Amino acid sequence: MSDSSQDWLPKVDLDSEAVIEEDYSLAPELVETVREMLEEERIDSVQQVLEPLHVADVADLLEYLTKDELQLVIKGLWSFIDSEVLTYLDAAVREEVIDLLGPRQLARAVSELDSDDAVEVFEDLDEEAQHRILSRLPQAYRTLLEESLTYPEDSAGRLMQREMVVIPSAWSVGETIDHMRESDDLPDDFYDLFIVNPKHKPIGFVPLSRVLRTKRPVRLTEIMDTELKLIPLTMNEEDVAYTFRQYGLVSAPVVDEVGRLVGVITIDDVVRVIDEVAEEDLMKLGGLGESDLYNDFLETVRARSPWLVVNLGTAILASLVIGLFEGTIEKVVALAVLMPIVASMGGNAGTQTLTVAVRALAMKDLSSANAWRFINKELVVGVFNGVLFAVITGALAWYWFGRPEIGLVIGAAMVVNLIVAGLGGTLIPIGLDRVGVDPAIASTVFLTTVTDVIGFFAFLGLAAAFLM
């Protein structure tokens, strides 16, 4: 190292709010300062920067670094970084960090994590790497991880935490408090105490705050809530998130096929699931499987190309429709100028409806119980917008080309296409969901095809009928 002075201070005052912006993101000046330190190999100074930061902010900082800078930090400072940083990293960056750590350091890091966080890190490894890490873990912890990995991906079994507070139904508040004070096996943070019968089946729960406010001789069964929302091991994590949102849960017990308590899911895990699902839906609407912010360009190209090929096919289909009216366009050149307006308005209107529908389906707010009401509403919106923008575009086209019949044609086509866009934006995602296809993946392509083809056909067909 060129300089290891412990009293060297970076350009950013670490005691000021300049380190973190008002929106809790890292200050750009801090990132640039760290980069300068790494370029000069001032590793001790980088450690000074990292020490006061929350582990989530450390993760953000690592994500800003280049591969070479990241390598310097991991090799020089990993022993000073909380292992929990692995759970906050983007999957692509976490993979780079794991490669830099090696089996021994990674095994030590995994063993320091809560079981649910360990599974999240562990499931991204290939089978060979998993075996290398497992061989270095304590037997009990290894058994827990191996069992968790047998559950379906994106299930409650993968999401749950094994560390929890389980209390026999015969205990009093005083016995429970004494147990919590003396036990070394309690999780670092917990909200609810789960009461089980002799068969280890949950029969109720008591919030920790209620235990602390109740006198010692009182039995837990006298103050427990019995309305448990039990989460089966195989429940999909999106359904878990819906259950938490629907019932305002902070934690929920996970049970096996015979009803025995095997784990707990807490609100922090559910927040992550909600964030991931929202991101996934957004990416799918753009034809992407997952975020590629930190992937290299080849991975990004491979992820985006397939849907671009599909889009090329739909564009060719729209062009074939235009080709059917080639003679009409040659005789009325104004049509070529006005065509994109009809298709663009239909596409944008359909996307607005589609976005609402896909999100409502994902949040279980849209079902067969209210589907027709939603469809009817969007149909009325399509008619209203169609008439409104028909008047506007028709008047502009009349003024632009001096021919009122062109204004009438584009106005009529606008009404048709916006009605079709409203119907397509509702019926396409609902139909795909009914047949078991994720509407976030395929809806956009189908909708674009429908609005382009119908828009061009309506506009050019009406033009051929009334202008020729």
> pLDDT per residue over 297-327, tens digit each?
676 667 667 766 777 787 788 788 888 888 8
> pLDDT per residue over 7-42, tens digit each?
444 444 554 445 666 666 778 888 888 999 998 888
Q: What is the pLDDT of residue 318?
A: 79
Scanning the structure block, which residue is given the tokens 């839906």? 281
The reply to whether 197 and 254 lie within a common domain is: yes
Q: Which of 243, 266, 289 is the last residue of a domain?
A: 266
Q: In what order do the strands lie in the sheet with 202-207?
A: 166-168, 192-196, 202-207
Q: What is the pLDDT of residue 9?
A: 42
Q: Which of 87, 122, 155 is the last residue of a domain?
A: 155
pTM: 0.67
List of residues 6+ apart from 315 with CB closer than 8 A: 452
Higher-pLDDT residue of 296, 7: 296
Residue 29 lies in a domain: yes
Whether the pLDDT of residue 166 is over 90: the answer is: yes
The reply to whether 116 and 210 lie within a common domain is: no
Contact 155, 125 (CB under 8 A): no
Whether the pLDDT of residue 291 is over 60: the answer is: no
Residue 281 lies in a domain: no
- What pLDDT band is residue 438 in, cutting at 50, 70 and 90? confident
Higher-pLDDT residue of 147, 193: 193
Most confident residue range from 270-284, 316-330, 382-396:
382-396
Picking from 27, 95, 99, 101, the residue whose alpha carbon sits closest to that of residue 64 is 27
The region of weakest confidence among 21-25, 99-103, 365-369, 386-390 is: 21-25
Q: How many domains does the chain have?
A: 3
Question: Strand 261-266 to strand 192-196: parallel, antiparallel, or no bridges (unpaired)?
Answer: unpaired
Domain limits at 235? 166-266
User: What is the rounded (10 degree) CA torsion for 31, 36, 38, 43?
Assistant: -90
The reply to whether 229 and 333 lie within a common domain is: no
Q: Quickly count: other Cβ atoms within 10 Å of residue 129's Cβ.
A: 15
Mean pLDDT of the chain: 85
> pLDDT per residue over 50-92, tens digit each?
888 899 999 999 988 888 999 999 988 898 899 999 988 888 8
Question: Strand 251-255 to strand 231-232: parallel, antiparallel, or no bridges (unpaired)?
Answer: parallel
Q: What is the pLDDT of residue 4?
A: 40
